[in-house]
Amino acid sequence: MVHAYGALLVVDGAQAIPHLQIDVQALNCDFYAFSGHKMLAPMGIGVLYAKAAILNQMLPYQLGGGMIESVSLDKVVFAPYPEKFEAGTPNVAGGVALAAAIDYLEKIGLAKIRAHEIALSRYLLNGLAQIKKVRVFGQAAASERTGLVSFYVEGVHAHDLSDFLAKKNLALRAGFHCAMPLHQSHACGATLRASYYLYNSEKDLESLLINLTEAINYYG
Amino acid sequence: MDDLYRSELMEIYQDPAHRGQIINPSIALEKQNAFCGDRLHLSLQIKNNIIEDAKFDGEMCFVSIIGADFLLEEIIGKTLAEAKKIDQAHLLKLIDLNLSTSRVACATLALKALQEALSAYEKTKN
């Protein structure tokens, strides 16, 4: 539909790529961007995929070393992509680490990781449903979630809960999660977000449920 | 639990002495913490350059409530000049909590509101 109107399709895939098998050609997107730190790579590295025809047409957004074919006083010929977009000193360590992270995830197998996190989502959703005053944000079932659940507790501030849980070695994000209007539309304050991945186990979530109950009793 | 949730603070959190709104205040304003959506309403009663009464209200977390209640306790009875001198370091020392960087913003929400209220009040007088 985007293409029918002559527009380009840009996908922010940072949230999907660690969890789902992504095929940019099947998606037929023009751009697909993701960051490394959501898939076990360090911060400061990411990928911007674009179709070859678009990359050929695009001009560099940044100038610097290593991006030209030739320069004279009145003319410049840029190097072919990707070099023309890689001005200056590249983040070599980040690139190597991202490649290692991708190899690592593929070796384990994305399908296996996916099954693991769906099982964790199911466990967490069931557990949260049994704690009084907890309200889960969104209706998505375990199989529709990419390893996270946002929720809030009636009458207890999300930041107070996240501080309490942090002291029990449980790291949850508290706040609006870059979606303030969505929170306003639900007429609630900040929410808590539990996110988990291949390195988490049911034991971690069990600890969350126990300590969350303790925190609610404490403030209640 | 550690010092962040000392029992005397828990009592203040549950029933802060300075919670409420002054009817016909000399100045009142609302301040929001964009990080978490906390909303604080501050009202001051000022007479002869002295803060006779101060109240806060709103939807706030534990740390914001503690910060607001300690701050108002500190400024009631003080002159405007004295109240203006209270800075972040002073307030953090008063509440004596071991806060992470992100939660300093919670503790100082009332202080920011006070500073804005005092300069707004001065403008109405000049």
Question: What are the residues whose beta carbons fall under 8 Å from the beta carbon of A152, sequence distance 6 or more?
Answer: A134, A135, A137, A158, A188, A189, A190, A191, A192
Burial of A60 (C-beta count, 10 Å sphere; 0-12/13-18/19+): middle
User: Å from B125 to nearest chain A CA?
Assistant: 36
Read off the pLDDT of residues B65-103 as tens digits, 9 standing for 90 and up: 999 999 999 999 999 999 999 999 999 999 988 888 888
User: Å from A164 to nearest chain B CA?
Assistant: 9
Cβ–Cβ under 8 Å, residues B40 and B68 = yes
Q: What is the set of domains in chain B, with CATH numbers?
A: 3-120 (3.90.1010.10)
Residue of A nearest to B39 (CA): A189
Residue B106: name the closest of B15, B58, B43, B36 by CA: B36
Q: What is the mean pLDDT of residues A67-71?
A: 89
Tell me which of A26, A178, A187, A217 is the catalytic residue: A178
The DSSP 8-state label assigned to residue A50 in this structure reads E
Question: What are the residues whose beta carbons fall under 8 Å from the beta carbon of B38, sequence distance 6 or more?
Answer: A157, A189, B32, B58, B59, B60, B61, B64, B106, B109
User: Å from A204 to nearest chain B CA?
Assistant: 20
Q: Is A174 on the interface with B (CB under 8 A)?
A: yes
Q: How confident is the model at residue B2 (pLDDT cuts 50, 70, 90)?
A: low
Report pLDDT for B126.
74
Q: What is the mean pLDDT of residues A50-64?
A: 93
Q: What is the set of domains in chain A, with CATH numbers?
A: 3-108 (3.40.640.10), 110-219 (3.90.1150.10)
Report pLDDT for A102.
96
Residue of A nearest to B106 (CA): A159
* Whole-angstrom distance, CA of residue A190 vs CA of residue A193: 10
Report pLDDT for B3.
57
Report pLDDT for B97.
86
Query: How many percent of chain B have pLDDT more than 70?
Result: 95
Q: Across the interface, do A175 and B60 touch by the CB < 8 Å criterion? A: no
* SS3 at position A68: strand
Q: How confident is the model at residue B110 (pLDDT cuts 50, 70, 90)?
A: very high
Report pLDDT for A178.
75
Report pLDDT for B1.
44
Q: Determine whether A178 is an active site residue.
A: yes
Question: What are the residues whose beta carbons fall under 8 Å from the beta carbon of B40, sequence distance 6 or more?
Answer: B30, B31, B32, B33, B56, B57, B58, B60, B64, B68, B109, B110, B113
Its pTM stands at: 0.81
* Whole-angstrom distance, CA of residue A157 vs CA of residue A190: 7
* SS3 at position A14: coil
Of B2, B4, B36, the CB nearest to A175: B36
Continuous segment of H or E residues that includes residue B117: helix B109-125
Q: Across the interface, do A163 and B4 touch by the CB < 8 Å criterion? A: yes
Chain A residues lying within 8 Å of B60, measured CB to CB: 157
Q: What is the mean pLDDT of residues A186-198?
A: 87
Q: How confident is the model at residue B4 (pLDDT cuts 50, 70, 90)?
A: low
List, in sequence order, the alpha helices (H) in A37-179: 52-57, 92-108, 110-129, 158-166
In chain A, helix, strand, coil percent, each to 5?
A: 40, 20, 40
Q: Which of B35, B36, B106 is the best substitution to test chain A (most A C-beta atoms within 10 A)?
A: B36
Read off the pLDDT of residues A88-127 as tens digits, 9 standing for 90 and up: 999 999 999 999 999 999 999 999 999 999 999 999 999 9
Note the ipTM here: 0.73
Q: What is the mean pLDDT of residues B112-121?
A: 96
* Whole-angstrom distance, CA of residue A21 vs CA of residue B63: 43
Read off the pLDDT of residues A155-184 as tens digits, 9 standing for 90 and up: 899 999 999 999 999 999 998 887 777 777
Give the mean pLDDT of chain A: 93
Q: What is the mean pLDDT of residues B11-29?
A: 95
* Whole-angstrom distance, CA of residue A117 vs CA of residue A112: 9
